[in-house]
């Protein structure tokens, strides 16, 4: 049976949503002798006669009945059940008779109501009634209304998602009685996501039985009723249907595709087009896609047209990258288990997941280009990082087969699209190839790998640098100077992360800096925009900036522009702490910058912690990774100096070793580097280190060995004064321990050779 035919069963006239409608069971049932009185009451309500009576908290029911036929009719109605009692309360609130509603509410007892009864009340009156009742507790003196409403809504939510109840309702869909089917459809339609999930999974199970040849007698009838039920659940069911179309298989996918055509589901057009253009091998699914597109008034596309549709949708989503939208769950379908799953994601994450899903469909088209497959792989890497899952095995196998030229082009595409995770993955793949061709370029233009070495993103910059070190080029190349700068940048960026607190008010800048120190930052207060720029550009360990919206010389906009124009600070998290009259302006500045937060000024430590969590995703910096990267960079520089290198300016920033030498975790790689630097400063640093009695004797011996290697390779680069000073130090160690005397004696032996 087709979906269209099935959906015509018991089809109801389309409702006019502009007219307030009440379910039959919610209408006020008036006794026969009171019908004339009720009609008169309705006319009196329209003319607002009842509002002429005084509203008092001490009114009695007898006095209230004299206000007019409407109130009198309500009070004459039986209130023997909770539903009857609540119906009267709700109606009185609608009429504006708040004090009378209070009297009835005080006499209403809900303590003995079971969970099922509470859920039944929500089913009878609707959730909106109870939400309104909860909101009116304090305003209208309805004591306990909020607690009662919440308990009813919770009971209704639990009942609607009860697996046993859902299973029974789905079973009733296959019943012989049309009335039972309609009742089950009506109950399922209000169960929300839980009911939609249950219906789709039941549809998938029905399709699997058909495929396996174990079809039951009621399956065809159940299939039709499930499709009818799902059609009544829109719009909430639409994202689930798209997920089922993308990841479904066989008969189940055909059913969902057919339903999408009946519902004119615009979000499914791209996938329907790719199915019709060869993205599906099952003939019945392809036929259903053709029919669905026809129902939507669209022509059946060929491969080129389908590709254009998908690329257009990807372009639309990418163009909306910086536009805010509501967060929503992301739905996926597991075809092996026939299970739907939801993941709570932000609007930006959902946009990324949609693009990745489209790109995957694009790359699987029969006539997909190399560019399409690269795009598919780029977004697959992005999603794997977001979901914290490994890359699908089929995509990883395809990535492993790519050559250096293809990987370089994919890296270029990822850099152009600011897809950092994919770019890092490309760098690692190039590093495993160890092919010098990855650094080759035509003319002065840098290769994508060389460009990545100078990127503003720290993770990508380090991955690219590591790849270049793995390749080990022996000749210079376009962008080689960026490698030297990156090596010294990472070598000097260890230790406590730096932060800057900038405000024209000295006390405010100092207070902010003090709070940052409490959270583990080496914070520097500054009072002008010029000083903020100067300190920031000279801080390789900079990890955070706090800038007052009222900063001057220059103003905050110019400060932000200056920071973002430099690769070193382009992605440093910045919090613009704003005064109330400048907050809107600061928020406009931050609208297009994901590393910029505009927020009111924090006035205490908890508020500052909240700001740090929002701008850096952590209230305390992690220095461990920076130290590990610094050690690796120092080791790479030492290896280059030991074995030869194509970098002309490798020694330009050698003075930075003086800052790493006294870091306990970097002492060994720093000593190794000092042994091969071959400068007078390096030998002088080694002498100072050996002579420092406060340092561990083991590392002082290593410094002595490093000095011996330096002198052997480059000769003595020290002045006579410096050598004489070392003799003085040795003579002064007469009362020192034996280890100190020994190491100082070794130094003199080195200098006397």
672, 699 contact by CB (below 8 A): no
**In a 3-state reduction of DSSP, which class is residue 90?**
helix
pLDDT of the residue at 48 = 33
Region 278-285 average pLDDT: 88
Q: What is the pLDDT of residues 555-606, one digit of tens each?
A: 888 999 999 888 888 889 999 999 888 888 888 888 778 789 999 999 888 8
Say yes or no to pLDDT of 375 above 60: yes
Q: What is the pLDDT of residues 423-479, one digit of tens each?
A: 999 999 999 999 999 998 877 789 999 999 999 888 999 999 999 999 999 999 999
Least confident of 106-120, 144-158, 261-275, 632-646: 106-120
Q: How confident is the model at residue 54 (pLDDT cuts 50, 70, 90)?
A: very low
What is the DSSP code string of 663-729?
STTTHHHHHHHHHHH--HHHHHHHHHHHT-TTS-HHHHHHHHHHHHHHHHHH-----HHHHHHHHHH
Q: How confident is the model at residue 323 (pLDDT cuts 50, 70, 90)?
A: low
Whole-model pTM: value is 0.73
pLDDT of the residue at 493 = 85
392, 380 contact by CB (below 8 A): yes
Q: How confident is the model at residue 30 (pLDDT cuts 50, 70, 90)?
A: very low
Region 53-61 average pLDDT: 48
Say yes or no to pLDDT of 500 above 70: yes
Say yes or no to pLDDT of 191 above 50: yes
**How many C-alpha atoms does 585 have within 13 Å on its Cβ side?**
11
Distance CA 355, CA 361 (A): 10
- Give, in order, the Cα–Cα distances in Å from 623 to each of 76, 498, 542: 75, 10, 12
pLDDT of the residue at 712 = 92
- Give, in order, the Cα–Cα distances in Å from 733 to each of 465, 741, 745: 45, 6, 10
Region 500-507 average pLDDT: 94
pLDDT of the residue at 53 = 33
User: Rounded to 10 degrees, what is the CA torsion of 667, 672, 673, 676?
Assistant: 150
666, 699 contact by CB (below 8 A): no
Distance CA 564, CA 320 (A): 22
Say yes or no to pLDDT of 521 above 60: yes
* 409 compared with 366, residue with greater pLDDT: 409
586, 578 contact by CB (below 8 A): yes
Say yes or no to pLDDT of 24 above 70: no
Q: How confident is the model at residue 622 (pLDDT cuts 50, 70, 90)?
A: low
Identify each DSSP E strand in 452-537 by its residue range.
Answer: 498-502, 522-526
List domains and CATH numbers for the chain: 24-160 (no CATH), 369-478 (no CATH), 498-622 (3.40.50.2300), 629-752 (1.25.40)
> What would the two tokens of residue 597 be?
């937060």
Q: Calculate what percentage of the chain has a pLDDT beyond 70.
A: 90
> What would the two tokens of residue 511 be?
């207070």
Q: What is the pLDDT of residues 411-438, one digit of tens each?
A: 999 999 889 999 999 999 999 999 999 9
Q: Of the candidates 318, 467, 317, 460, which has an alpha carbon nearest to the alpha carbon of residue 385?
A: 460
């Amino acid at each position: 049976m087709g979906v269209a035919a099935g959906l015509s069963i018991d089809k109801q006239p389309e409702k006019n949503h502009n007219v307030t409608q009440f379910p039959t069971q919610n209408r006020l049932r008036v006794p026969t002798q009171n019908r004339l009185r009720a009609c008169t009451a309705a006319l009196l309500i329209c003319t607002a006669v009842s509002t002429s009576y005084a509203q008092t908290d001490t009114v009695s029911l007898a006095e209230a009945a004299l206000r007019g036929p409407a109130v009198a009719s309500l009070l004459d109605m039986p209130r023997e059940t909770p539903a009857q009692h609540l119906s009267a309360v709700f109606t009185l609130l609608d009429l504006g008779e708040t004090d009378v509603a209070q009297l009835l509410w005080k006499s209403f007892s809900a303590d003995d109501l079971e969970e099922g009864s509470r859920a039944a009340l929500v089913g009878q009156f609707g959730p909106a009634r109870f939400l309104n009742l909860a909101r009116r507790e304090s305003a209208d003196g309805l004591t306990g209304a909020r607690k009662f409403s919440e308990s009813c809504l919770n009971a209704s939510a639990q009942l609607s998602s009860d697996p046993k109840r859902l299973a029974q309702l789905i079973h009733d869909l296959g019943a012989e009685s049309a009335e039972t089917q309609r009742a089950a459809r009506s109950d399922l339609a209000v169960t929300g996501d839980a009911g939609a999930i249950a219906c789709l999974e039941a549809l998938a199970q029905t399709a699997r039985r058909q495929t396996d040849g174990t079809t039951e007698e009621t399956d065809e009838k159940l299939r039709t009723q499930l499709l009818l039920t799902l059609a009544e659940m829109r719009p909430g069911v639409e994202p689930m249907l798209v997920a089922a179309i993308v990841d479904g298989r066989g008969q189940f996918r055909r059913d969902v595709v057919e339903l999408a055509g009946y519902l004119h589901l615009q979000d499914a057009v791209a996938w329907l087009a790719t199915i019709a253009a060869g993205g599906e091998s099952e003939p019945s699914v392809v036929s259903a896609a053709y029919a669905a597109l026809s129902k939507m008034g669209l022509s059946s596309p060929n491969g080129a047209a389908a590709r254009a549709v998908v690329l257009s949708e990807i372009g639309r989503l990418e163009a909306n990258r910086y536009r805010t939208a509501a967060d929503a769950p992301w739905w996926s379908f597991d075809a092996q288990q026939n299970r739907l799953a939801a993941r709570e994601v932000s609007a930006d994450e959902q946009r990324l997941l949609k693009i990745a899903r489209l790109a995957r469909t694009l790359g699987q088209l029969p006539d997909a280009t190399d560019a399409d497959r690269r795009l598919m792989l780029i977004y697959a890497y992005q999603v794997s990082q977001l979901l914290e899952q490994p890359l699908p095995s089929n995509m990883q196998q395809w990535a492993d087969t790519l050559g250096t030229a293809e990987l370089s082009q994919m890296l270029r595409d990822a850099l152009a699209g600011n897809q950092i995770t994919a770019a890092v993955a490309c760098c690692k793949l190039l590093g495993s190839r160890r092919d010098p061709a990855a650094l080759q370029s035509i003319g002065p233009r840098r290769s994508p790998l060389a460009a990545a070495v100078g990127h503003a993103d720290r993770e990508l910059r380090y991955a690219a640098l590591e790849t270049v070190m793995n390749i080990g080029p022996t000749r210079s190349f376009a962008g080689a100077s960026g490698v030297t700068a990156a090596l010294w940048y990472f070598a000097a960026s260890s230790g406590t992360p730096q932060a800057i607190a900038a405000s024209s008010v000295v006390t405010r800048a100092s207070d902010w800096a003090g709070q940052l120190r409490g959270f583990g930052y080496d914070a520097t207060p500054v009072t002008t925009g010029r000083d903020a720029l100067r300190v920031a550009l000279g801080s390789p360990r900079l990890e955070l900036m706090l800038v007052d919206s009222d900063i001057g010389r220059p103003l905050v906009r110019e400060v932000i522009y200056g920071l973002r124009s430099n690769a070193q600070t382009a992605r440093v998290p910045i919090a613009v702490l704003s005064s109330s009259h400048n907050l809107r302006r600061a928020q406009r500045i931050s609208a297009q910058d994901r590393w910029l937060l505009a927020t009111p000024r924090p006035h205490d430590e908890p508020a500052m912690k909240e700001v740090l969590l929002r701008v850096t995703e952590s209230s305390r910096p992690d220095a461990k990774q920076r130290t590990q990267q610094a050690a690796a960079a120092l080791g790479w520089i030492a290896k280059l100096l030991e074995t030869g290198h194509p970098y002309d300016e490798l020694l330009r920033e050698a003075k930075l070793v003086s800052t790493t030498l006294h870091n306990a975790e970097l002492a060994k790689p720093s000593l190794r580097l000092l042994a091969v630097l071959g400068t007078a400063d390096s030998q002088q640093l080694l002498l100072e280190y050996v002579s420092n009695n406060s340092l561990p004797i083991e590392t002082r011996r290593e410094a002595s060995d490093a000095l011996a290697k330096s002198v052997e390779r480059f000769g003595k680069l020290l002045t006579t004064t410096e050598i004489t000073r070392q003799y003085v130090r040795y003579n002064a160690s007469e009362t020192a321990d034996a280890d100190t005397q020994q190491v100082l004696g070794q130094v003199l032996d080195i200098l006397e050779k």
